[in-house]
Structure 1
């Protein structure tokens, strides 16, 4: 009980900070040794992956996804209890369930230019200033400092302020290291900084979006059923092997989690997955139809 009470108070605290400022840094979430082990698991991918093409991704930056398939250690960060609690608190007003939008490892090499300031919610052409579509979580594998290109953020540039011009003077560069994490709303203006150091800045992003949106990373290609079957049911659901009511993301009219079962039938019976208000309306309509037939 005490754990749940303490977790709840932490979720309250950090959710409020995130919603007020548009970002927050939560310190000491995981042991540094766990982060170092994940970094080591991905070392070969960091080495072999070519530099990005295009100035937005960064021509001195390397990026790759599918981290849950590359290292089993990625799941501990993606499913961190406090982080998921904050994400649920922030996004739940607009969705039935939220989903993993992406996992992406990033290595910003010396000489990388500063990225253009942007808002990640702009990947979707939805209403600006009314809905929060996304929460991104940045997990550093090395120290993040202004000198090596740490993320620049513009506090209070989120929500309805996304419609307003933001003065350059309000820019902040949070500095933090492995074990801590930067949480940022999808409506917050931000950008990777220039790497003026001699070190590579490495880390990963785990992003979470409203469950009815098209994800940035195609989770079903990243984690097809043969891979998703090795995940816990909770992780499989987070990457999309569950429906968002009403019936969104279904397979043959069923929750896509059926694809993770052994002995899947050749034919499936489609089954309603409705919100309570929709079920009530459908049941009332059916009752009226029965009364009409009986008259």
Structure 2
């Protein structure tokens, strides 16, 4: 796996996007699609030119289908994402899970960079990595995602020629990864059928996520997740001491009972622990 991860991470860093062919068994995507079918049928069309009047979107996929975890915790995908983001954080976090259905007649979406939802400095760091998992085959004619390779290099450029965009052909089981700094947008659906897909997005662990994971997956739901999945959706501290509950790791909320009074416990990086210990030692001398 390490060689494939190295190659994909290199492509993602160079081009701003990469494709993992056959990352999952198409049957797993089919099972996920079956679970999501009622939500696709009942969710109203979006409102607004960005989300798209001919588009359906809904989130919270981990509580809509048990099959969503296979996408969220896909080992090679997580390894690639961590390669991209861990230089700027201690741990990554789940930014969103979202199902998208682009209907016939939907126009192309405004090209944009997803990282622009955060107002921090751009060009010196990456904020997130998106992963698109097709439910239906993605083509240029049915609204497949348009991306501008290399657009992550000069992030002051807000618009590039449409002819420079690529639309990777994707089949169920493939995964399209692209940086939050990569210019992209959904395509216009010129076909006669809807195009469905799932977006799983990961961000720096100290950022406020696009989808508020703690509200989408409150303790009553998250306590049934594996510890790894619970940590990914936010039930873990980001050292030093960020995202705590009464000074403790928020995973304390996932137990059968939560003490009414909690004592704060340090969650420091090793270098900070050493610095604090040295400070105290100097005072004792």
Indicate the TM-score class for this superposition, using the shorter chain for normalisation.
over 0.9
Equivalent of residue 163 in structure 1, options 156, 163, 173 = 156
1:286 Cα shift? 1.7
How big is each residue's C-alpha offset from its partner over 1:3-24, in whole Å with a ceiling of 9 and x where there is no partner? xxxx111111110110011001
What's 2:248 paired with? 254
What's 1:267 paired with? 261
Is the alpha carbon distance of 1:106 and 1:165 closer, same or farther for their aligned partners in structure 2, counting shifts above 3 Å?
A: closer
How big is each residue's C-alpha offset from its partner over 1:44-90, in whole Å with a ceiling of 9 and x where there is no partner? 00000000010000000000000000000000111001000100111
What's 1:3 paired with? none
Q: Which runs of 4+ in 1 moved over 4 A?
A: none
- CA–CA distance in 2 between the matches of 1:108 and 1:256? 37
- CA–CA distance in 1 between the matches of 2:38 and 2:224? 23
Computed over aligned residues only, the root mean square deviation of the Cα atoms, in angstroms, reads 1.0
TM-score, normalization: structure 2? 0.97
Say if 2:103 is the partner of 1:109.
yes
1:278 Cα shift? 1.7
TM-score, normalization: structure 1? 0.94
Is the alpha carbon distance of 1:251 and 1:289 closer, same or farther for their aligned partners in structure 2, counting shifts above 3 Å?
A: same
User: Do 1:157 and 1:166's aligned partners in 2 also have CA atoms closer than 8 Å?
Assistant: no
Equivalent of residue 62 in structure 1, options 45, 56, 64 = 56
Name the SS of the counterpart of 2:155 in structure 1: helix
Equivalent of residue 37 in structure 1, options 31, 37, 41 = 31
User: Do 1:62 and 1:106's aligned partners in 2 also have CA atoms closer than 8 Å?
Assistant: yes
Say if 2:272 is the partner of 1:282.
no
1:288 Cα shift? 2.4
User: Do 1:254 and 1:270's aligned partners in 2 also have CA atoms closer than 8 Å?
Assistant: yes
- CA–CA distance in 2 between the matches of 1:165 and 1:221? 33
What's 1:182 paired with? 176
Name the SS of the counterpart of 1:163 in structure 2: coil
- CA–CA distance in 1 between the matches of 2:82 and 2:62? 21
Aligned length: 284
Q: How does 1:74-113 map to 2 (within 5 A)?
A: 74-113=68-107
What's 2:198 paired with? 204
Name the SS of the counterpart of 1:90 in structure 2: helix
Equivalent of residue 230 in structure 1, options 216, 224, 227 = 224
- Segments of structure 2 that go 5 or more residues without pairing to the other structure are none
Is the alpha carbon distance of 1:48 and 1:166 closer, same or farther for their aligned partners in structure 2, counting shifts above 3 Å?
A: closer
- CA–CA distance in 2 between the matches of 1:120 and 1:143? 23
- CA–CA distance in 1 between the matches of 2:222 and 2:201? 18
Name the SS of the counterpart of 2:76 in structure 1: helix
